[in-house]
Structure 1
Amino acid sequence: AAVRARTTSGLDAFALVAVDADRADQVQAAAAAQGLHVVPGSGQKAAGADAQSQQGWVNLVALIVILGYIAIAVINTLVMATGERSREFALLQLIGSSRRQVRAMMRTEAVMVAVISTAFGVIVAIPPLIGMSIGISGRLVPELPVLAVLGLVGAMGALALATLWVATLGAMRTRPIEEIGSRQ
């Protein structure tokens, strides 16, 4: 408690202490009496890696929340925009495009939207992650588990593709000749 009160954030996971060999047992006993876990210098690297791993998971949770909000906004926008294009799809079919060609066009659009929105989501998430990283660990660059971030980005891309696929199928439900004559 006395050491933690003298740290900048109060969240430090470990402290390095150098002592003379003849006082090592005495210092270890005093630290253990305060409820501290004493590890020799060779074990410090493992303790530091564990603290960095925890920081990475905290940053990942923040990234998931931010990207989740962006995903909801993107999905709503995609569904509404695709639904409003049903007459456009009908016109394309009436002038000779097959349903397959219209779906292929929408897949291409979906890939473009997924790439752009994922890039935007990551860019928007960077400032809050930097702020959290500075506040929690004092480092400018947040530590994130790379595989988890790649999985998250892949999930966002798959979500955009699935959303556009379902919305396109819904918009193409009606026969083209009936859809083109409808009023919106």
Structure 2
Amino acid sequence: MKFAAWFVSLFVVFYYSNILFLGITSPGKYYSPFLAQHLNYIQGLRWVLLKSSAGILNSLGYYTITNTYDLLVAGHGIIRLAYDCLGLGVISFFTAFVLAYPKPPRAKLVFIITGIVAIQLLNIARFVLLALFWTRGDSEVVDHHTLFNMLMYVIISISLYFWVKTDIAPKRQHAAN
């Protein structure tokens, strides 16, 4: 019960803190120019994802153009990285679970860093594929965002299962008497 309470509490804090930060770094009623200009990790993450995707596409011989929100591949398509595309909800879920689970801090830190990097590498792969092959259709039953999230939660669930099952405590050697 303690794990579940910590997990839900941490997830709510992480998830809604990101949404709150997005709100105060977007022009509007509660806009903070200082945070938007100097501490905007959401825009920083978007920039890293756009530039990484463009870099991969350029290395494959495609010509790309990026701006604050978009990635255009000449002769192919354009994708817009909205807030929902950044993976912050998935990362909030993953991080909350790992922090709430009773394992040593070092194991948690290593797994969180590895997991977030893996999530974002898969996100970059998605953007590269979408920029090359996706066309906006009116008759989509399930959009690519929902499919990607479902895939991510399956991958995260499997990785969490194995992480939970792994005993990281050092094995004690018994001296022979």
Q: With structure 2 as the length reference, what TM-score do the two structures score?
A: 0.33
Larger RCO: 1 or 2 (CA < 8 Å, sep 6+)? 1
Structure number with bigger Rg:
1
Q: With structure 1 as the length reference, what TM-score do the two structures score?
A: 0.32
Q: Which has the higher strand share?
A: 2
